[in-house]
Amino acid sequence: MPSREGTYGLLAEFDTPGDLVRAARQAHEDGWRRLDCYTPYPIEEVAEVIGFHRNRVPLVTLVGGLMGLAAMFSMETWISVIAYPLNIGGRPLYSWPAFIVPAYEWTILWAGLSAGFGMLALNGLPQLYHPLFNAPNFRDGATTDKFFLCLESLDPKFDLVESKQYLESLDPVSIVEVEY
């Protein structure tokens, strides 16, 4: 459990996505690992330069979809063959081609729900409070037109004075110390 007191990190603000990409690349190359970037829209280059290449949303979606498929197909089979066998025009009880449509729909349903809510869960959301919201310029611009790089205090390289000087070398618009 990380400590909930003191400094969360140092937040540097940039005006353009290009500046953020350069700063983030530099920080990552200099060995920073507990860092994150905050942008008003997705920027793939930023994720690339901080080494975030892959995520587990596709896996969650696949598992969800297969579960939906299995659940519906087995339910249809159980209902039509065992629980409530009906003779419809002499068709076999296990008339699997007719079961495909609902099973297909449930594959999509479960996969879609897993993709959506799995993404939120992997992101650790909902999280209505976050220390960064204490930074006034973050609330002002992070979801509108500003680009942020945050060096977190949990990084072993973190030191309030030295890290601040380091961030200044990356040429940001401003640097704010964020409290927990």
Least Cβ distance, residue 176 to other proteins (angstroms)? 15
Task: Figure out which of the listed residues 3, 33, 74, 139 binds other proteins, where binding follows CB under 8 A.
Answer: 139
In angstroms, the CA 107 to CA 26 distance is: 44
Residue closer to other proteins (CB basis): 65 or 167:
65
**116 by DSSP, 3-state: which?**
helix
Our finding on whether 115 is near other proteins (CB under 8 A) is: yes
Q: Say how many CA atoms lie within 13 Å of 161 toward its Cβ.
A: 0
How far is residue 148's CA from residue 14's CA, in Å, rounded to a whole number?
Answer: 6
Q: With 0-12 CB in 10 A as exposed, 13-18 as middle and 19+ as buried, what is 156?
A: exposed
Q: Of these, 33, 74, 98, 180, which contacts other proteins (CB under 8 A)? A: 98
Residue pair 148/38 in contact by the 8 Å Cβ criterion: yes
Under rule CB under 8 A, residue 143 binds other proteins:
yes
Residues that bind other proteins (CB under 8 A): 16-18, 21-22, 36-47, 50, 52, 55, 57-58, 61, 65, 72, 75-76, 79-80, 83-84, 86, 88, 91, 95, 98-99, 101-102, 104-106, 108-109, 111-113, 115-120, 122-123, 125-130, 132-133, 139-140, 142-145
